[in-house]
Chain A
Amino acid sequence: MEITVTINGTAHTADVEPRTLLVQFIRENVGLTGTNIGCDTSSCGACSIHLDGEAAKSCTILAVQADGAAVTTIEGMAAADGTLHPMQAAFMENHGLQCGYCTPGMVMAATSLLAENPSPTEEEVRIGLEGNLCRCTGYHNIVKAVMACAES
């Protein structure tokens, strides 16, 4: 089936099998490998992207479901000149990452969280990121980064 998905502002048209997952489409058809596959069971959040502006887990969405939609991946967060998105900068400044595997999903989930709740409490950040697992258990600095980004 032919689908068109706008990813980071560029329309990508491809003929895909209906069973193609959105994360596969992003990584294999479009070649954007910043979106990671972690648990592959919609638990860990490593594959989080924005679908029409809201965080979603791209391992649990069929590419055909995203036909006509706008997707933002981690590659679409920084400005064209390489200036980091404020959330990316906050992660860097607050040591919000260790191995880095969960980071793209964390950044996408955290920016979606702040879009819905621009001034969250620390508890709201922790609850709001419940869909993202960090196996380095670096949660403390991730929460610090999100709070710093919200305050800036």
Chain B
Amino acid sequence: MIPAAFDYVRASSAEEAIALLGQHGDEAKLLAGGHSLVPLMKLRLAQPSVLVDIGRVNDLSYVRDAGDHIAIGALTRHMDVENSPVLAEHVPLLAHAASHVGDPQVRHRGTIGGSLAHADPASDLPATTLALGATYVAQGPNGTREIAAADFYQGYLTSTLEADELLTEIRVPKMNGAGWSFQKFNRRAQDWAIVGVAAWRRGTESGVGLVNMGSVPVLAGAVSAAIASGADVADAAALAADDADPQADLNASVEYRQHLARVLTGRALSAASA
């Protein structure tokens, strides 16, 4: 399968990429690792007329300790998130979730910013960063703005990013010793999650993100509210599907997804509470 024809331009900096996006308008798409976009283009589900390749903008690949949070460059590859000692110490849930993305070949190429900007509710990292209360930084022609993960996802494969904006950094609060767990339920290795759960807990504080439980990644607010008010794990996990509007597909019915969300949330919170 070969993508439809397109023009290809290479940006050497974030500013140049934004200028190129401005020049080419809605028809342009950013290309980072290409592991979400190229498959869509091969299936002709996406047919951008211009690709702006930012894969060589090396200064957007980093993991830095920024005091109360960890700053991750948008072009940091999954493999580098997975193996980052800084993340292992301060945000182990994210490093672990990154190790579940695709397979080693995919993780050598795909980037965290690309995965988040693609806004696929079945991907592991949108729900994980949502659970962790991350903030995304977008750069556009008029400067940068911060977008809470909770405000970023608008619909299936749709985010609040403007056509001339580039995701540059992901800021993830340090977990400060919170317990955590990532539960991914699928039928075959390397598949997307049929349902996944990313959860952390520190006393009565918690965050629970649901993978593939609707058109956007879902924050299970009812679960965290129950934990905050002293509910035990079983009672809190029973509320896991309350904030979600899952779809049926080849892999699972709506009811099965809701069941999985409750069971996996229970397992995740039990592990995070241990």
Residues of A within 8 A of B (CB): 1, 17-21, 24, 40-43, 45, 48, 51, 54-57, 60-62, 64-65, 109, 112-113, 116, 127-128, 130-132
Is B2 a contact of A21 with CB atoms below 8 Å? yes
Interface size class of B (residues with CB under 8 A): 20 to 34
Mark contacts of B1-40 with chain A using CB atoms, 8 A cut-off: 1 yes-contact digit, 0 otherwise. 1111111100000000000000000000001001100110
Is B104 a contact of A112 with CB atoms below 8 Å? yes
Is A65 a contact of B2 with CB atoms below 8 Å? no
Is B109 a contact of A19 with CB atoms below 8 Å? no
Is A57 a contact of B5 with CB atoms below 8 Å? no
Kindly state the separation between the CA atoms of A41 and B79 in the bound complex, as whole angstroms: 20
Is A55 a contact of B105 with CB atoms below 8 Å? yes
Instruction: Tell me the nearest residue of chain B to A1, going by C-beta.
Output: B8
List residues 85-103 of chain B with CB under 8 A from any CB of chain A: 102-103
Is A56 a contact of B108 with CB atoms below 8 Å? yes
For residue B154, CB closer than 8 A to chain A, the reply is: no
For residue B221, CB closer than 8 A to chain A, the reply is: no
Is B8 a contact of A64 with CB atoms below 8 Å? yes
Residues of the B chain whose Cβ atoms lie less than 8 Å from the Cβ of A112? 104-105, 108
For residue B189, CB closer than 8 A to chain A, the reply is: yes
Is B3 a contact of A42 with CB atoms below 8 Å? no
Kindly state the separation between the CA atoms of A45 and B2 in the bound complex, as whole angstroms: 17
CB within 8 Å for A113 and B39 given contacts A18-B7, A19-B6: no
CB within 8 Å for A42 and B4 given contacts A54-B108, A56-B105: no
Kindly state the separation between the CA atoms of A18 and B9 in the bound complex, as whole angstroms: 9
Is A60 a contact of B5 with CB atoms below 8 Å? no
- Known contacts A109-B104, A132-B103, then 17 further A-B pairs from the complex at CB < 8 Å, ordered by chain A residue: A18-B8, A19-B5, A19-B41, A20-B2, A40-B1, A42-B106, A45-B103, A55-B108, A60-B38, A60-B106, A61-B38, A62-B38, A64-B53, A65-B31, A130-B190, A131-B103, A131-B105
The smallest C-beta distance from B52 to any residue of chain A, in angstroms, reads 12
Q: Is the interface of A mostly helix, strand, loop or mixed?
A: mixed
Task: Indicate which residue in B2, B39, B102 contacts A19 across the interface (CB closer than 8 Å).
Answer: B2
Task: Indicate which residue in A21, A61, A113 contacts B104 across the interface (CB closer than 8 Å).
Answer: A113
Task: Indicate which residue in B7, B34, B39 contacts A41 across the interface (CB closer than 8 Å).
Answer: B39
Residues of the A chain whose Cβ atoms lie less than 8 Å from the Cβ of B6? 18-19
Residues of the B chain whose Cβ atoms lie less than 8 Å from the Cβ of A45? 103, 105
Is A43 a contact of B190 with CB atoms below 8 Å? yes
Instruction: Tell me the nearest residue of chain B to A48, going by C-beta.
Output: B105
Give 13 pairs: A residue, B residue, CB < 8 Å, sorted on A: A1-B8, A19-B2, A24-B2, A41-B39, A43-B190, A57-B105, A57-B109, A61-B38, A61-B109, A64-B53, A112-B108, A131-B105, A131-B190
Instruction: Tell me the nearest residue of chain B to A47, going by C-beta.
Output: B105
Residues of the B chain whose Cβ atoms lie less than 8 Å from the Cβ of A24? 2
The smallest C-beta distance from A84 to any residue of chain B, in angstroms, reads 23
Kindly state the separation between the CA atoms of A21 and B105 in the bound complex, as whole angstroms: 16
Instruction: Tell me the nearest residue of chain A to B191, going by C-beta.
Output: A43
The smallest C-beta distance from A17 to any residue of chain B, in angstroms, reads 7
